[in-house]
A and B are shown apart, each in its own frame.
Chain A
Amino acid sequence: MKVSDLLKNSEFKCLNPQIGVEGEIKSGYVGDLLSWVMANAGNECAWVTIQTHVNIIAVATLLEMACVIIPEGAEVEESTLERAIIEDIPVITTGLNAYEVCKILGNAGV
Chain B
Amino acid sequence: MSYELAFEVERGDFETAGGASRKIKKTLQQLGISSKIIRKVSIAGYEGEMNLAIHSWGGTILLEVAETEIILTIQDSGPGIPDLHLAMTEGWSTAGVEARRMGFGAGMGLPNMDRNADHFEIESKVGNGTKILMKFFL
Contact check, A39 vs B108: say whether CB atoms are below 8 A apart: yes
> How far, in Å, is B6 (CB) from chain A's closest CB?
19
Contact check, A51 vs B103: say whether CB atoms are below 8 A apart: yes
The 7 listed contacts between A and B (C-beta, < 8 Å) are A35-B104, A35-B112, A38-B43, A55-B102, A58-B22, A59-B18, A79-B15
How far is A8 from B84 in the complex, measured between Cα atoms in Å? 50
B: number of interface residues (CB 8 Å): 24
Q: In the complex, given contacts A34-B106, A35-B112, what are 5 additional A-B residue pairs having Cβ atoms less than 8 angstroms apart?
A: A39-B108, A39-B115, A54-B14, A55-B103, A62-B42
A53 within 8 A of B: yes
Residues of A within 8 A of B112 (CB): 35, 38-39
How far is A28 from B50 in the complex, measured between Cα atoms in Å? 24
A: number of interface residues (CB 8 Å): 22
What 6 A-B pairs have minimum CB-CB distances, sorted nearest first? Answer: A58-B18, A35-B108, A33-B106, A62-B42, A35-B106, A34-B103
Q: Interface residues of B: mostly helix, strand, loop or mixed?
A: helix
How far is A9 from B46 in the complex, measured between Cα atoms in Å? 34
How far is A79 from B19 in the complex, measured between Cα atoms in Å? 14
B39 within 8 A of A: yes
Residues of B within 8 A of A43 (CB): 35, 39
Q: If A43-B39, A58-B22, A58-B46 touch, does A36 touch B17 (CB 8 Å cutoff)?
A: no
